[in-house]
C-alpha cells in the first residue's frame, strides 16, 4: 500500500497557507453545524410534522413512523462514517466532504417539497431523512481530518474544539429552531437548511482543497458489508426494544429484537475477525495500538453514552412535569423545553474553544479528565433536585454541565486526531465518529429503559387510584393504568396531552370541570412525578458511572502525543517531553507509535 501527497506535507505548518486554514475551519464548522441542527430539529417539530401529514404517531401501528423519523438520520450516520472516512483517505477528504455537502443539500430540498398525507408521506419523509443522513455522514467523516491536515498541531485544539462546539451547539439550536418554525409551517423545518447548504456547497467546491496524504488502497467490501449489517441490526434492535411488546412495557424480549441484537453482535464479531485478515481493512485495528487514540475513543464513547439519552430525558422532564406545572400548555412545551435547555449550550460555547486553546498549549489529558469527572459530579447533584425544581438551580447545573462537556470534548478530539498518521486521518475520524454516534443511539435505549422500568414499577398503581378518585369507572381506570408507560412518555415528548390521549374516548362523557382538571396542567405531572424521578435517578446513576469510567480512560491516555512526518516520509521522534510548540511527534515511554507508510 502506498501514499501520495496532494500538495506536500505542508499541513502541519499551516496547511496550504495561513488564510486557507481559516477557510477550512469556517466551512467545516458550517457543515457540522448544519448536520447536527438537522439531527435534532425534527425532535421538537414532530407534532407539527405529523399534524401536517395528518397522521397520529401515537395510534397503534404508527409508532414505527415516529421512531424512524426521529432516529433514522442518526442510525445511518453512525453506520456510514467509518466507510466514508476511509474512502476520503483513498480519494481525497475534501472531494468526499464536498460530495456530502451537495448530497445533504439535495435531500434537504426534497424534504422541504414533501406533499401528500398519511403513511405514504411518512415513508417519503423517512427515506429522504435517511438519504440526507448519508450526506451528513460524509460531512462528519471528513471534517475533522480536513482540519487536522490544515492546522499545525499547536492550533488543532482550537480548530477541532470550534468544530466540536458547533456539533454540540447545533443539536440544541435545532431544538429551538424546530420549536419556532414547526408551528409556523412544518416544511420550514427542512427548508431552513437549503440556503446554507447551497452556499456551503458552492463555497466548499471553490475554496477547499486536499492538503493531506492520500492513500492508494482498495475498498474492503466484506468489511463494509459485515459492519453495515451488524451495526444496523444492533441499532434497529435498540430502536424497537423501547417499544411495547405483547402486553409488556418494552420490547426487549421480542423475538425480533433478540434476533437483531444477538445476530448483529455476532456479525460485528465476524467483522472484527475479517478486519484482522484482509490486507487493506476498512477498520484500522492497528490504530488501537496507539494509546492516545484508543483511550480517547473509549472516553468519548462512554461520555456519549452518558450524554445522548440524557438530553431526551431532560426534555421529557421539562415537557411532562415542570413546564405544565409552571403554566405552559402541553402544546407549548416542545419549544420551551428547547429554550430552557439553552444554558447547557452556552456553557459549551464558553468552554469548548477555550479548552481547545489550552490543550494546544498544555496537552489534553488534564483538561479532558477533569471535564468528564466534573460531569459525573454534576449528575450526582442533579439527583438532589425535586421534580418541581427551582429553575435557577437547574439552569446553573445545566451551565456547569455544558462547561464540563466542553472541557472534555475539545481536548479529547484534538488528542485523538493528533495521534493519527497523516494517511489514516479520515479512517480514524470516521472510527471516532462511529463510536460517538452509535453510543448516542445506545444511550437513548438505555435511558428510556431505565425510565420506563421506574415508571412501570409505580405508575400503574398511582394512575389507577388517581383516575378512580376522579370518578373514572374502575374497569376503564384499570385498563388505562396498565397501558405501556412508554406511551405516556411519547405523548409528553410529542407535546400531546397524555391524559387527553389516554382517556380520549371517555372525555365526552365527563363533565366539563372534570375534563378540565384531568387534562389540566397539574393532574398528570403530579401523578407521574414520583415514578419518573425513580427512573431518572437510576438513569443519572448510569450517566455518572459512565463519566467516571471515561475519566479513568482519559487519565490512562498517556502524555502528549503528536504523530508527525517529515516531507521525506521519515517519522520525526522527539524523546521525552517536547516543546509545547514543537511539530515533532512526542513519544511517551510505553506508548507505541503507528507509522504511516513512506510516500511514493
432-469, pLDDT tens digit by residue? 877 887 888 788 888 888 888 877 777 788 888 888 88
Residue 27 above 60 pLDDT?
A: yes
Query: Residues 177, 180, 54, CA angle at the centre, nearest 5°?
Result: 105
Strand partners, 3: 215, 599
- The rounded distance, in Å, linking the Cα atoms of 418 and 410 is 12
CA 403 to chain centre: 18
Question: Average pLDDT in the 16-45 region?
Answer: 83
Residue 557 above 70 pLDDT?
A: yes
Place of cell 401501528: 61
DSSP label of 146: H
Over pLDDT 70: what percentage of the chain?
A: 88
Phi, psi of 575 (to 5 degrees): -75, 150
Cβ neighbours for 284, distance < 8 A, ≥ 6 positions apart: 424, 427, 428, 431
Strand partners, 287: none
pLDDT digits (tens, 9 = 90+) for 225-244: 888 888 888 878 887 887 77
The model's confidence at residue 217, banded by pLDDT at 50, 70 and 90, is low
The model's confidence at residue 403, banded by pLDDT at 50, 70 and 90, is very high
DSSP label of 123: H
- Give the alpha-carbon dihedral of 19, 20, 22, 23, to 10 degrees: 120
Q: CATH number of 2-219+282-455+530-566: 1.20.1260.10, 3.40.50.720, 1.20.1250.20, 1.10.569.10?
A: 1.20.1250.20
Which helix (DSSP H) or strand (DSSP E) does residue 359 occupy?
Answer: helix 342-362
Q: Which three cell numbers stand for residue 329?
A: 400548555
Which residue, 336, 335, 341, is CA-closest to 326? 336
Strand partners, 248: 245
Alpha helices by DSSP H, listed for 419-522, are 425-469, 474-481, 485-493, 498-502, 512-518
- Indicate the pTM of the whole model: 0.78
The model's confidence at residue 10, banded by pLDDT at 50, 70 and 90, is very low
- The rounded distance, in Å, linking the Cα atoms of 324 and 394 is 16
pLDDT digits (tens, 9 = 90+) for 120-163: 899 999 999 999 989 988 888 888 888 888 888 777 777 877 88
- The rounded distance, in Å, linking the Cα atoms of 354 and 360 is 10
Residue 389 above 90 pLDDT?
A: yes
- 3-state class of 484 per DSSP? coil
Q: Check the CA dihedral 175-297-401-325 and report its sign.
A: positive
Q: What distance, in Å, lies between the first and last C-alpha atoms of the chain?
A: 10
Which residue, 423, 414, 468, 450, is CA-closest to 544? 450
* More confident position, 2 or 176: 176
With beta carbons less than 8 A apart as the criterion, state whether 559 and 291 touch.
no
- 3-state class of 265 per DSSP? helix
Query: Residues 289, 295, 301, CA angle at the centre, nearest 5°?
Result: 120
**Residue 128, pLDDT score:** 93
Crossing angle of helices 365-382 and 391-418, rounded to 10°:
150
- The rounded distance, in Å, linking the Cα atoms of 536 and 312 is 11
- The rounded distance, in Å, linking the Cα atoms of 490 and 483 is 13
pLDDT digits (tens, 9 = 90+) for 512-552: 888 888 888 888 888 888 888 888 898 899 999 999 999 99
Q: Which of 50-54, 217-221, 352-356, 406-410 has the lowest mean pLDDT?
A: 217-221
- 3-state class of 574 per DSSP? strand
* More confident position, 348 or 573: 348
424 to each of 44, 199, 212, 480, how far by Cα in Å? Answer: 38, 29, 10, 56
Beta pairing, strands 585-587 & 573-575: parallel
**Residue 401, pLDDT score:** 93
Residue 88 above 60 pLDDT?
A: yes
- The rounded distance, in Å, linking the Cα atoms of 321 and 340 is 13
Domain ranges of the chain: 2-219+282-455+530-566, 226-281, 456-529
Q: How does the average pLDDT of the chain come out, rounded? A: 80
**Residue 475, pLDDT score:** 84
Which residue, 104, 97, 77, is CA-closest to 145? 97
- The rounded distance, in Å, linking the Cα atoms of 568 and 208 is 25
- The rounded distance, in Å, linking the Cα atoms of 207 and 205 is 6
Which residue, 187, 5, 198, is CA-closest to 104? 198
Range with top average pLDDT, 72-76, 277-281, 393-397, 431-435: 393-397
The model's confidence at residue 563, banded by pLDDT at 50, 70 and 90, is low
- The rounded distance, in Å, linking the Cα atoms of 413 and 407 is 11
**Residue 5, pLDDT score:** 41
With beta carbons less than 8 A apart as the criterion, state whether 96 and 88 touch.
yes
Residue 369 above 90 pLDDT?
A: yes
With beta carbons less than 8 A apart as the criterion, state whether 399 and 344 touch.
yes
Question: Average pLDDT in the 337-353 region?
Answer: 85
Q: List, in sequence order, every beta strand (DSSP E) within 253-326.
A: none
**Residue 60, pLDDT score:** 65
**Residue 378, pLDDT score:** 96
Count other C-beta atoms under 10 Å from residue 481's C-beta: 20
- The rounded distance, in Å, linking the Cα atoms of 268 and 388 is 44
- The rounded distance, in Å, linking the Cα atoms of 324 and 338 is 15
- The rounded distance, in Å, linking the Cα atoms of 492 and 490 is 5
- The rounded distance, in Å, linking the Cα atoms of 153 and 580 is 10
Beta pairing, strands 2-5 & 213-216: antiparallel
Beta pairing, strands 573-575 & 213-216: unpaired
Burial class, 406, CB count within 10 angstroms (exposed 0-12 / middle 13-18 / buried 19+): buried
Burial class, 396, CB count within 10 angstroms (exposed 0-12 / middle 13-18 / buried 19+): middle
Phi, psi of 370 (to 5 degrees): -60, -40
Which residue, 311, 385, 344, is CA-closest to 537? 385
Amino acid at each position: 500500500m502506498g501514499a501520495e501527497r496532494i500538495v506536500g506535507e505542508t499541513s502541519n505548518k499551516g496547511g496550504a497557507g495561513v488564510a486557507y486554514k481559516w477557510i477550512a475551519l469556517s466551512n467545516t464548522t458550517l457543515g457540522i453545524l448544519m448536520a447536527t441542527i438537522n439531527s435534532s430539529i425534527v425532535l421538537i417539530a414532530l407534532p407539527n410534522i405529523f399534524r401536517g401529514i395528518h397522521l397520529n404517531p401515537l395510534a397503534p401501528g404508527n409508532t414505527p413512523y415516529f421512531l424512524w423519523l426521529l432516529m433514522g438520520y442518526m442510525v445511518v450516520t453512525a453506520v456510514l462514517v467509518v466507510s466514508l472516512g476511509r474512502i476520503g483517505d483513498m480519494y481525497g477528504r475534501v472531494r468526499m466532504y464536498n460530495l456530502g455537502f451537495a448530497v445533504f443539500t439535495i435531500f434537504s430540498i426534497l424534504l422541504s417539497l414533501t406533499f401528500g398525507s398519511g403513511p405514504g408521506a411518512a415513508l417519503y419523509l423517512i427515506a429522504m431523512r435517511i438519504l440526507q443522513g448519508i450526506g451528513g455522514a460524509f460531512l462528519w467523516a471528513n471534517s475533522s481530518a480536513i482540519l487536522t491536515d490544515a492546522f499545525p498541531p499547536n492550533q488543532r485544539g482550537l480548530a477541532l474544539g470550534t468544530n466540536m462546539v458547533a456539533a454540540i451547539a447545533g443539536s440544541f439550536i435545532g431544538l429551538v429552531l424546530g420549536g419556532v418554525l414547526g408551528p409556523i409551517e412544518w416544511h420550514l423545518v427542512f427548508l431552513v437548511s437549503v440556503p446554507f447548504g447551497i452556499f456551503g456547497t458552492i463555497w466548499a467546491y471553490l475554496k477547499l482543497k486536499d492538503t493531506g496524504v492520500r492513500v492508494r488502497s482498495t475498498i474492503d467490501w466484506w468489511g463494509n458489508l459485515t459492519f453495515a449489517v451488524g451495526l444496523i441490526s444492533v441499532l434497529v434492535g435498540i430502536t424497537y426494544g423501547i417499544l411495547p411488546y405483547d402486553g409488556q412495557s418494552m420490547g426487549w424480549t421480542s423475538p425480533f429484537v433478540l434476533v437483531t441484537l444477538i445476530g448483529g453482535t455476532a456479525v460485528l464479531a465476524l467483522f472484527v475477525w475479517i478486519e484482522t485478515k484482509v490486507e487493506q481493512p476498512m477498520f484500522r485495528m492497528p490504530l488501537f495500538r496507539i494509546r492516545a487514540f484508543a483511550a480517547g475513543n473509549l472516553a468519548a464513547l462512554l461520555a456519549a453514552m452518558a450524554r445522548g439519552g440524557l438530553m431526551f430525558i431532560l426534555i421529557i422532564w421539562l415537557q411532562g412535569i415542570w413546564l405544565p406545572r409552571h403554566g405552559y400548555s402541553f402544546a407549548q412545551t416542545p419549544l420551551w423545553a428547547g429554550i430552557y435547555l439553552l444554558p447547557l449550550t452556552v456553557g459549551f460555547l464558553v468552554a469548548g474553544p477555550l479548552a481547545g486553546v489550552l490543550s494546544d498549549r498544555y496537552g489534553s489529558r488534564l483538561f479532558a479528565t477533569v471535564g468528564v469527572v466534573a460531569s459525573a459530579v454534576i449528575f450526582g447533584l442533579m439527583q438532589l433536585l425535586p421534580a418541581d425544581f427551582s429553575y435557577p438551580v437547574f439552569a446553573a447545573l445545566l451551565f456547569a454541565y455544558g462547561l464540563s462537556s466542553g472541557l472534555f470534548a475539545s481536548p479529547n478530539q484534538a488528542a485523538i486526531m493528533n495521534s493519527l498518521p497523516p494517511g489514516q486521518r479520515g479512517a480514524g475520524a470516521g472510527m471516532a465518529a462511529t463510536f460517538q454516534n452509535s453510543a448516542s443511539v445506545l444511550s437513548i435505549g438505555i435511558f428510556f429503559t431505565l425510565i420506563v422500568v421506574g415508571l412501570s414499577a409505580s405508575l400503574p398503581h398511582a394512575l389507577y387510584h388517581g383516575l378512580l378518585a376522579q370518578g373514572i369507572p374502575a374497569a376503564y381506570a384499570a385498563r388505562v393504568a396498565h397501558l405501556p408507560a412508554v406511551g405516556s412518555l411519547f405523548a409528553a415528548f410529542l407535546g400531546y396531552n397524555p391524559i387527553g390521549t389516554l382517556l380520549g374516548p371517555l372525555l365526552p362523557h365527563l363533565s366539563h370541570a372534570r375534563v378540565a382538571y384531568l387534562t389540566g396542567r397539574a393532574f398528570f405531572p403530579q401523578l407521574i412525578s414520583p415514578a419518573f424521578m425513580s427512573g431518572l435517578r437510576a438513569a443519572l446513576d448510569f450517566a455518572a458511572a459512565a463519566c467516571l469510567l471515561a475519566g479513568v480512560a482519559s487519565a490512562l491516555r498517556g502524555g502528549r502525543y503528536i504523530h508527525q512526518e517529515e516531507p521525506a516520509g521519515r517519522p520525526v521522534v522527539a524523546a521525552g517531553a517536547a516543546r509545547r510548540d514543537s511539530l515533532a511527534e512526542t513519544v511517551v515511554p510505553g506508548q507505541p507509535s503507528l507509522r504511516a507508510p513512506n510516500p511514493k
